[in-house]
Amino acid sequence: DAKTTQPPSMDCAEGRAANLPCNHSTISGNEYVYWYRQIHSQGPQYIIHGLKNNETNEMASLIITEDRKSSTLILPHATLRDTAVYYCIVRAYIYGQNFVFGPGTRLSVLP
Amino acid sequence: DVKVTQSSRYLVKRTGEKVFLECVQDMDHENMFWYRQDPGLGLRLIYFSYDVKMKEKGDIPEGYSVSREKKERFSLILESASTNQTSMYLCASSPSRGASNEKLFFGSGTQLSVL
């Protein structure tokens, strides 16, 4: 079973920040939070991951709460090309732990 | 950029046929994975491999087998295709096992229809 809970869908206006929440209240100390997205008819694409500190890269920012029970993926200036399903995954770096994809959040960026 | 190439984008087969889905990655990744994706069920792991000639069952291995004779190539085999194996099949690779840089790179997928 997926260890995360995400809203099934969200809308965002083009040019605005998209804030996608994820709840992972049972996360363990050695588990990282990963975000992937899947644009229609393509394979999932890695976005960002982190352990406890906030992370930023050219695609997005990841904000993890201090208790690590939830996180938010931020797309600072959403474009129409950001319309996709976004998956939040928790996973430890140990042998046998695989990426478990839940249903994700379907983000629609509206013009 | 890492490239994961799946041999076919669309495939139509008959019930009972033996089906081979091929996947090749060009970045010397150790790990390779096969997922299937169905509406409402998300991505489910079928098999994975952490090294040449090694394979491990994922969550739904029944009806499938795999082969990894070379590091860059991971094949998914449907011994006798059935209609409930109609699905989108996604191959992925990742650079190393148990390391902080382990992240999945996916191919574009093969949409398999079994008639």
Per-residue pLDDT of chain B (115 residues; tens, 9 = 90+): 669 999 899 999 999 999 999 999 998 999 999 999 998 888 999 999 988 999 999 989 999 999 999 999 999 999 999 999 999 999 999 887 666 557 889 999 999 999 9
Put simply, the answer to whether A98 touches B45 (Cβ < 8 Å) is: yes
Phi and psi, residue A15, nearest 5°: 90, -15
pLDDT value of residue B88: 96
Contacts of A94 in chain B (CB under 8 A): 98
The strand pairing partners of B114, in sequence order, are B13
pLDDT value of residue B99: 62
| pLDDT < 70: residue spans in chain A | 1-2, 93-97
Phi and psi, residue B59, nearest 5°: -85, -25
What 3-state class would DSSP assign to A3?
Answer: coil
Contacts of B40 in chain A (CB under 8 A): 103
pLDDT value of residue A91: 84
CB-CB contact of A67 with A59 (8 Å): no
- Give the mutation candidate from B5, B88, B103, B110 for the A interface (greatest A CB count, under 10 A): B103
pLDDT value of residue A96: 61
Distance CA A1, CA A99 (A): 11
Task: Look at residues A55, A24, A46 and name the one whose alpha carbon lies nearest to residue B103.
Answer: A46
Put simply, the answer to whether A98 touches B99 (Cβ < 8 Å) is: no
pLDDT value of residue B64: 97
